[in-house]
Amino acid sequence: MGTVVVDVMPKQEILDPQGQAVVGALRRLNLSQFTDVRQGKRFTLEVAGDVTDEVLAAAREAAETLLSNPVIEDVVSVRDADAAAAGQEDAS
Amino acid sequence: MSNLPAYKCDTVDIASQDPQAEQPWAELGLKSDEYQQIREILDRRPTSAELAMYSVMWSEHCSYKSSKVHLRQFGDKTTDEMKEKLLVGIGENAGVVDIGDGWAVTFKIESHNHPSYIEPHQGAATGIGGIVRDIMSMGARPLAVMDPLRFGALDHPDTARVLPGIVSGVGTYGNSLGLPNIGGEINFDSCYQGNPLVNALCVGSMRTEDIHLANATGVGNLIVLFGSKTGGDGIGGVSVLASETFDSTGPAKRPAVQVGDPFAEKVLIECCLDLYAADVVAGIQDLGGAGLSCATSELASNGDGGMQIHLDRVPLRDPSLSPEEILMSESQERMMAVVEPGKLEAFMEIAAKWDVEASVLGEVTDGENLEVFWGDDLLVQVPPRSVAHDGPVYQRPLERPAYLDDLQADGTAHLNRPRTGDDLARTVLDLIASPNMCDASWVTDQYDRYVRGNTAQAMPDDAGVVRVDEETGRGVALSTDCNPRFTKLDPYAGSQLALAEAYRNVAVAGAAPLAVSDCLNFGSPEDPGVMWQFSEAVTALADGCAVLGIPVTGGNVSFYNQTGDIAIHPTPVVAVLGVLDDVAKRNRSGWAHAQDAIYLLGETRDELDGSAWAEVAHSHLGGLPPTVDLAAEQTLASAILAATDQGLITSAHDLSDGGLAAGLAESVLRHGVGASVDLSPVASRDGVDAFVALLSESTARAIASISASDAEAFEAVLSDKGQAFARIGTTGGDHLKVEGQFTLAIEDLRSAHTGVIESAMSH
């Protein structure tokens, strides 16, 4: 039983109204050291067996075709939840 | 200067010293002679920032270069009498009309077609945002929005992609802004498959003395940018410059779409109204297409001409933006004001109160040029009129399409018509279940139609009605219409039919038609056949408005709506605005009471070419559209308005698509009150059979229901106005019964009419 984690963020140059709302609220709470906030989303995809390269490739396809809107969002990582973070990140 | 990112800025100095540098004018969409023209205007090569400005401002979308020569007719054919109620005409952000009692109303319709195809939700949302800012920039409080939408076939897979996104975008943005959506259209035709149309209308009101205009006058007055920060939204094509002017480690290709924030826009609306009330704004302009390039050049061009702007003072969301990109960014929810220096402090206080960021970018100068700086570097030095108003003008070749003769010759006379009452009943059910005639509440239920509490009526009534003055009830009615099947068959007649239908819808609601805005959606202007359609449409609308005595106050042209070489049907969407002195007197559109007398107003001819029946029963489009009779439309309007004024009408409904059959079915379904109808008075007077009486789409017709006790008075009004009429039945019961033909239970009508769009969207 394995888990693939997919992180999706609004493209850097696209306005993120949710993030803007959060940064505004932080200021009102006097947590003003945070100058900007961007809010994305995380998906966890469960598979019956191990997270193989094949599974990761399929997860990436899912991420790019369904889980994200390629016009305004980027898939920032597709990775095995159990693997050590370093070296396993498939950032693109 | 030291704290600015070190861009290799292409300055005016560099451009003068290095006149032969290669420039990507073709990639930016400029033609070779246009590029030469820019060089002649400037007497040197443009800087990359200037090239970016000219390329966008001289694009079809901003410059109207192909349409200008035709649009002139709207001004030329406007008589002094039509101008009487016109406070601000074509050329400003939106036209303004006088609706009486010191109230002015501004309204405009625009397209956001291409962005909505690429990113349906955000494209449609920012379409609403953009048109609302146009209305704000006239000094008005936005009151309501409307959105005529056109999609490909309902059962096509791509329709299931674009439709829900577009509808949710319109709904999310409008609902979050707290603006009611009071109507529009939803229309399906395979010609829109690769190119859906998203048109958006906004109407706003103000006191007549509060009108604001977009001009920058008064040397020393400050130019203030306020609203959201500037990011890399909607730069699209200009990124070709970015890759040229800074090294390859620069930002990735910028997206062509923008994401809007309706809550930021809501705050901006209230902030603007506060600024107007405090009288601290000398001129105002919204930022839309072409962003700062457009706003600065238009303000300067409409004013004294001279302006200096410092781009390094623009608050940025993305610090990696190059000066060219800042100039072109289409980030949403931004406005630009011209402020006298003595009023700046008050301006800034109001902006701060609303948590709206405001920055002084520069000032009005006594020079003749718009000058844009990045630090000490002068990046732009241009005569603003050459950017904003004196762009290229094309007299494109026109040619009546060769296919038109065959298309017009292929009428509906040879098509099988229903012969029995049962056939007719089936035809009526098929008709009201068809995508273009079915219940649209799956769409309109996603819109808040009543927020702000001033909506007197919205979908599914013929026209949206909204109250302007809460004391007196004075208000306006609006309808947008276009039957693209008719404009395909005959662009001139079809355009006048669109005008006539919108005019009729407003009048039937009990409002006196006053003014027009139009959104002209066409294919490529480089196709002589499309250009001919466009020329016919504009001529028809200008001629029609002159006959009806209502001026065109503004609008928008959208070209290049096509997939490959195949253009959409010509789609000149016409919005007519009318006035009611009290919205409580409006006419509702369905039957609410039993035992009312039903009248058919107008005459019916055998006019089935291009009709909904021809489409639904035979998938046929050919022949000639129904006869246009604007004099008859005026008679009908005056008769209905006179009867409305006397309080005689219990309901009225315009007849158009689907003819009398659709009008009867919709009136029955509105409140679940049936009717018994006898067509024989119409059949014998007009020499038509039951099928033609029910399904012909002859114009200048409406149905009305009248309390039996008022029937005599109503007939007297109609006779006095010279309006043809026939008493065709009585309301009541659980069926729609057409004497001698068929009886349909209301629940059968309802089950055919409803659920069509939701079931197509649920696959």
**Site of tokens 């309109």:** B444
pLDDT computed for residue A92 by the predictor: 43
Which of A:62-81 have CB within 8 Å of B? 69, 71-72
Query: Would you place residue A86 in the very low, low, confident or very high pLDDT band (cuts 50, 70, 90)?
Result: very low
DSSP character string of B337-368: EEE-GGGHHHHHHHHHHTT--EEEEEEEESSS
- Give the three-state DSSP class for B741: coil
Top mean-pLDDT range of A65-74, B49-58, B224-233, B542-551:
B542-551
**Contact criterion met (CB < 8 Å) for A14 and B255:** yes
pLDDT computed for residue B252 by the predictor: 45
Out of B325, B357, B388, a domain closes at B388
Using the CB atoms, write b or e for B294-323: b if 16+ within 10 Å.
bbbbbbbbbbbbbbbbbbbebebbbeebbb
Residue B638 CB burial class (10 angstroms; 0-12, 13-18, ≥19) = middle
Torsional class of B247: left (φ above 0), alpha (ψ -120 to 50), beta (otherwise): beta
Closest-CA residue to B68 (of B525, B588, B735): B525
What is the per-residue pLDDT across B631-688, written as a single tens digit (0 to 9) for each?
999 999 999 999 999 999 999 999 999 999 999 999 999 999 999 999 999 999 999 9
Range list of H helices, B549-648: 612-618, 630-645
- Looking at the DSSP bridge assignments, the partners of residue B557 are B520
pLDDT computed for residue B604 by the predictor: 98
**Contact criterion met (CB < 8 Å) for A72 and B119:** yes
Mean pLDDT of B496-502: 98
Contact indicator for B138, B96 with CB cutoff of 8 Å? yes
Query: Would you place residue B21 in the very low, low, confident or very high pLDDT band (cuts 50, 70, 90)?
Result: confident
DSSP character string of B281-344: -SEEEE-BTBHHHHHHHHHHHHTTSEEEEEGGGS-BSSTT--HHHHHH---SSEEEEEE-GGGH
pLDDT computed for residue B321 by the predictor: 87
pLDDT computed for residue B288 by the predictor: 84
Say which of A10, A16, A71 has its CB closest to residue B119.
A71
**Site of tokens 């662009």:** B491
Mean pLDDT of B90-98: 84
Contact indicator for B431, B616 with CB cutoff of 8 Å? yes
Residue A89 confidence (pLDDT) above 60: no
Say which of B118, B231, B355 has its CB closest to residue A15.
B231
CA distance B357 to chain A (A): 12
pLDDT computed for residue B255 by the predictor: 58
In a domain? residue B455: no
B460 upstream amide cis, omega within 30 of 0:
yes
In a domain? residue B206: no
Best mutation target among B317, B333, B354 (most A Cβ atoms within 10 Å) is: B317
Q: Considering chain A, what is the average pLDDT of its residues? A: 88
Catalytic site includes residue B61: yes
Residue A59 belongs to domain spanning: 2-14+40-85
Catalytic site includes residue B569: no
Please tell me which residue, B281 or B216, carries the higher pLDDT value.
B281
Q: Return the H-helix or E-strand segment holding B686.
A: helix B680-686
Residue B295 belongs to domain spanning: 12-66+213-388
Rounded to whole angstroms, the Cα distance separating B637 from A53 reads 71
Calculate the alpha carbon distances from B386 to B62, B72, B214, B395 in Å: 13, 19, 17, 19
Q: Considering chain B, what is the average pLDDT of its residues? A: 93
In a domain? residue B350: yes
In a domain? residue A31: no
Rounded to whole angstroms, the Cα distance separating B265 from B263 reads 5
Residue B598 confidence (pLDDT) above 90: yes
Residue B305 confidence (pLDDT) above 90: no
Q: Compute the Cα dihedral for B509, B512, B516, B522 and give only its sign.
A: positive
Contact indicator for B203, B476 with CB cutoff of 8 Å? yes
Contacts of B231 in chain A (CB under 8 A): 13-15
Q: What are phi and psi of B629, to 5 degrees?
A: -140, 85
In a domain? residue A26: no
Mean pLDDT of B30-42: 94
Contacts of B118 in chain A (CB under 8 A): 71
Out of B355, B373, B388, a domain closes at B388
**Contact criterion met (CB < 8 Å) for A13 and B122:** no
Residue B583 confidence (pLDDT) above 60: yes
Question: Of residues B70, B112, B212, B735, which has the active-site annotation?
Answer: B112
Rounded to whole angstroms, the Cα distance separating B110 from B88 reads 18
pLDDT computed for residue B742 by the predictor: 97
Rounded to whole angstroms, the Cα distance separating B708 from B597 reads 6
**Site of tokens 């059979």:** B689
Q: What are phi and psi of B233, to 5 degrees?
A: -75, 140
Q: How many beta-carbon contacts under 8 Å exist across A and B?
A: 51
pLDDT computed for residue B5 by the predictor: 56
Contact indicator for B144, B128 with CB cutoff of 8 Å? no
| Domains in chain B, number | 2
**Contact criterion met (CB < 8 Å) for A15 and B355:** no
**Contact criterion met (CB < 8 Å) for B255 and A24:** no
In a domain? residue A35: no
Contact indicator for B551, B82 with CB cutoff of 8 Å? yes
In a domain? residue B465: no
Residue B240 confidence (pLDDT) above 60: no
Range list of H helices, B137-214: 157-177
Query: Would you place residue B303 in the very low, low, confident or very high pLDDT band (cuts 50, 70, 90)?
Result: confident
Mean pLDDT of B506-511: 97
Residue B198 confidence (pLDDT) above 70: yes
| Domains in chain A, number | 1
Rounded to whole angstroms, the Cα distance separating B455 from B144 reads 9
Query: Would you place residue B193 in the very low, low, confident or very high pLDDT band (cuts 50, 70, 90)?
Result: very high
Residue A87 confidence (pLDDT) above 70: no
Of all residues in chain B, the one with the smallest CA distance to A13 is: B232
Mean pLDDT of A66-83: 92
ipTM of the complex model: 0.73
Contacts of A12 in chain B (CB under 8 A): 232, 251, 318
User: For chain B, what percentages of helix, strand and coil (3-state, to nearest 5) are there?
Assistant: 40, 25, 35
In a domain? residue A48: yes
Rounded to whole angstroms, the Cα distance separating B659 from B501 reads 12
Contacts of B261 in chain A (CB under 8 A): 15, 17, 20
* Domain containing residue B730: CATH number: 3.90.650.10
Percent of chain B surpassing pLDDT 70: 96
Closest-CA residue to B47 (of B20, B12, B19): B12
pLDDT computed for residue B718 by the predictor: 98
Closest-CA residue to B658 (of B617, B689, B623, B624): B617
Residue B227 CB burial class (10 angstroms; 0-12, 13-18, ≥19) = buried
Rounded to whole angstroms, the Cα distance separating A13 from B233 reads 6
Residue B248 confidence (pLDDT) above 80: no
**Site of tokens 């009429």:** B725
In a domain? residue A47: yes
Contact indicator for B579, B100 with CB cutoff of 8 Å? yes
**Contact criterion met (CB < 8 Å) for B255 and A71:** yes
pLDDT computed for residue B250 by the predictor: 40
Of all residues in chain A, the one with the smallest CA distance to B117 is: A71
Rounded to whole angstroms, the Cα distance separating B169 from B148 reads 14
Out of B388, B414, B447, a domain closes at B388
Torsional class of B174: left (φ above 0), alpha (ψ -120 to 50), beta (otherwise): alpha
User: For chain A, what percentages of helix, strand and coil (3-state, to nearest 5) are there?
Assistant: 35, 25, 40
**Contact criterion met (CB < 8 Å) for A16 and B259:** yes
pLDDT computed for residue A1 by the predictor: 86
In a domain? residue A8: yes
Mean pLDDT of B612-632: 98
Query: Would you place residue B2 in the very low, low, confident or very high pLDDT band (cuts 50, 70, 90)?
Result: very low
pLDDT computed for residue A85 by the predictor: 52
pLDDT computed for residue B242 by the predictor: 45
* Domain containing residue A59: CATH number: 3.30.1280.10
Range list of H helices, B369-490: 384-388, 403-409, 421-432, 441-444, 484-489
In a domain? residue B402: no
In a domain? residue A27: no
**Contact criterion met (CB < 8 Å) for B233 and A13:** yes
Tokens describing residue B100: 């009486």
Residue A41 confidence (pLDDT) above 50: yes
Instruction: Say which DSSP state B224 is in.
Output: E
pLDDT computed for residue B27 by the predictor: 85
Contacts of B331 in chain A (CB under 8 A): 15
Range list of H helices, B137-156: none
Rounded to whole angstroms, the Cα distance separating B28 from B705 reads 58
Percent of chain B surpassing pLDDT 90: 83
Of all residues in chain A, the one with the smallest CA distance to B234 is: A14
Say which of A16, A17, A72 has its CB closest to residue B263.
A17
What is the per-residue pLDDT across B137-170, written as a single tens digit (0 to 9) for each?
999 999 999 999 999 999 999 999 999 999 999 9
